[in-house]
Chains A and B, each alone.
Chain A
Amino acid sequence: MFETIRYDVNNGIATIRLHRPDKLNAFISQMNREVTKAVKTASSDNEVRCIVITGEGRAFCSGQDLAEVDENMDHGQVLRDHYGPMVKQIHHCEKPIVAAVNGVAAGAGFSLALACDFRLMSERASFINAFIHVGLIPDSGNLYYLTQLVGRAKATELAILGEKVSGADAVEMGLANKLIEADKWEQDVEAFAARLAALPTKAIGLIKRSLNAASDLSFEDYLEQEAQGQRAAGLTADHREGVTAFMEKREPAYTGQ
């Protein structure tokens, strides 16, 4: 089904593994399409309650494969046709998405990580907003997310100086959620994803919608959106389970419904 990525679903966790290790998982248009399709598949699969995006080999993703770039390339059209649809699919996904950043995430690889809800950093991982080094601007939603995550000052610095950010620094500046030791990488990522997969999935989707609304709507419109979201959450089986478990003084067993 896929050639540039591996996709599997285990215990409610869909793993999308970028799989061009000899190219440091650089993007070619086929990989854009396959990531888009995989996220779409996971979004509509009721079994899936958490999505993990990671890279095979020593890199997470080194950005656009420069072998695909020639002087006739219309960079804007590439974004409209390939990267835009991919980050939109991620942006509108109602399940939690974790970027398990196993190695370097550069350029559009950094943007991909930014589009996810959580970023877990391996000790070996780093971010580089490399676009400036080839005379381009950060793309695929990069600055949209970056300004929200770290504010304008830091976003400006990362975009214009294009310096490498270590995993520890990324966590420190609020760019990533967690730094994980190399020898605990696989198990800690899995534990984190499993924890997300056990949560009330529908509520997570509604929280993500509210987070998007918070930056898009006026305060009054936001409050109305929030009321509708809470109404939807209040109708879920997981809400009833949460309340029942609390009354019965036991751990809730959420189904994601």
Chain B
Amino acid sequence: MQFEFIEAAVKEKIGVIELNRPRQLNSLNRKMVSEILEAMQQFDTDDEVRIIVLSGKGRAFSAGADIDEMMEDDPVALELMNQFADWDALSLIKKPIIGAVQGFVFGGGFELALCCDLVIAARGTEFSFPEVNLGVMPGAGGTQRLTKLVGRAKALEWLWSGDRISSESALESGVINRIVEPEVLIEETMRLAGRLAKQPPLAIRLIKDSVNKAVDYSLYEGMQYERKNFYLLFASQDQKEGMNAFVEKRKPEFRGK
């Protein structure tokens, strides 16, 4: 796949997307976001890909949105352009997305990290929503996704202050999954991705689908939804293989069917 602002390649069943504007600290412009989406959508329907990894080249994952690009925008132009449609589509990706972040994860970069299912951060990574300092606020899900993750009190504090949040605080608040040494960020991310790539893909997929519903649905509706996905997996070959292998005391061979 050829892109202008990102690189995308498949490595051993892992679809790897790298933000590739290191000199601009991977600041996100609109084309870049649509390229990310395009790559993710291709991976999502590619049988060779089981897991998606999103990382940024250089010393920062992403220092935020490209401010120059939006300085002159007016509300009507923004409405008509509907740029956030790409962000909405990111949340419809079915395969697991693992974010590997380092350096700065600011503004739009933080929102992009929040679009990932799991996030691994290099020790020393800093997170922040600095939009408030420019007289605006996050527009790509920052106030919503952050609040669902960390609760109202913490979300308001971080969004109002624009303060930098250490990776330790981010871990404690449930924003990220783990902190690793910077030298092994990609290696550790690929190790986790490799492990998940060996899990039965349909179960992984429907677990993501169900967990996402837990965020939006009432508990009752979520339970009903979960049940249907649970039943659905009994239509898969992997369920038969998994249960047979368990009974026969051997390792299962999952095919994603």
- A residues contacting B by CB (< 8 A) are 92, 206, 209, 225, 228-229, 231-232, 235
* B residues in contact (CB < 8 Å) with A: 123-124, 180-181, 183-184, 187-188
Contact of B183 with A231 in the complex, beta carbons under 8 Å: yes
A–B pairs, 18, beta carbons within 8 Å: A92-B124, A206-B181, A209-B123, A225-B181, A228-B180, A228-B181, A228-B183, A228-B184, A228-B188, A229-B181, A231-B181, A231-B183, A231-B184, A231-B187, A232-B181, A232-B183, A232-B184, A235-B183
Whole-angstrom CA separation of A229 from B188 in the bound complex: 12
The CA-CA distance from A176 to B222 in the complex, in Å, is 61
Q: Is the CB of B183 within 8 A of A209?
A: no
Question: Which of B181, B183, B187, B188: most chain A Cβ within 10 A?
Answer: B181
Closest CB of chain A to B176's CB: distance in Å? 14
* Chain B residues within 8 Å of A232, by CB: 181, 183-184
CA distance A115 to B124 in the complex (A): 19
Which residues of A have CB within 8 Å of B184? 228, 231-232
CB nearest neighbor in B for A226: B181
Measured between beta carbons, the chain B residues less than 8 angstroms from A228 are: 180-181, 183-184, 188
Complex alpha-carbon distance, A209 and B181, angstroms:
9
Chain A residue nearest to B181 (CB atoms) is: A228
Q: Name which residue of chain B comes closest to A233, CB basis.
A: B183
Given the complex of chains A and B, what is the CA–CA distance between A18 and B94 in angstroms?
A: 59
Residues of A within 8 A of B181 (CB): 206, 209, 225, 228-229, 231-232
Enumerate chain B residues within 8 angstroms of A209, measured Cβ to Cβ. 123, 181
List 5 tightest A-B contacts by C-beta distance, closest first. Answer: A232-B183, A228-B181, A228-B184, A231-B184, A232-B181
Would you give the shortest CB distance from A36 to chain B, in whole angstroms? 17
Cβ–Cβ < 8 Å partners of A235 in chain B: 183
Docked pose: A92 CA to B183 CA in angstroms: 16
A91 to B184, CA, bound (A): 22
* A92 to B190 CA separation, bound complex (whole angstroms): 27
Cα-based distance from A232 to B183 in the complex (angstroms): 6
Instruction: Chain B residues near A229: list those with CB within 8 A.
Output: 181
* Chain A residue contacts of B183, Cβ below 8 A: 228, 231-232, 235
Cβ of B188 to closest chain A Cβ, rounded Å: 7
Tell me how far the C-beta of A213 lies from the nearest C-beta in chain B, rounded to whole angstroms. 9
Closest to A228 in B: B181
By a CB distance below 8 angstroms, the chain A residues around B124 are 92
In the complex, A229 Cα to B182 Cα: how many Å?
9
CB of A202, distance to nearest CB on chain B (Å):
9
Q: Distance in Å from the Cβ of A205 to the closest Cβ of chain B?
A: 10
Residues of chain A within 8 A of B180, CB atoms compared: 228
Chain A residues with Cβ below 8 Å from B123 are 209
User: With a CB–CB cut-off of 8 A, which chain A residues contact B187?
Assistant: 231
CB-nearest residue of chain A relative to B183?
A232
In the complex, which residue of chain A has the Cβ closest to the Cβ of B124?
A: A92
Please give the distance in Å from B76's CB to the nearest CB on chain A: 44
Nearest Cβ on chain A to B191's Cβ, whole angstroms: 11
CA distance A52 to B188 in the complex (A): 35
Q: Beyond the given A231-B181, A232-B181, could you list 17 further A-B residue pairs with CB under 8 A, ordered by the A residue number?
A: A92-B124, A206-B181, A209-B123, A209-B181, A225-B181, A228-B180, A228-B181, A228-B183, A228-B184, A228-B188, A229-B181, A231-B183, A231-B184, A231-B187, A232-B183, A232-B184, A235-B183
**How far does the Cβ of B107 sit from chain A's closest Cβ, in whole Å?**
23
Shortest Cβ distance from A85 into chain B, in angstroms? 13
Determine the chain A residues whose CB is within 8 A of the CB of B188 once the complex forms.
228
Q: Which residues of B contact A225 (CB under 8 A)?
A: 181
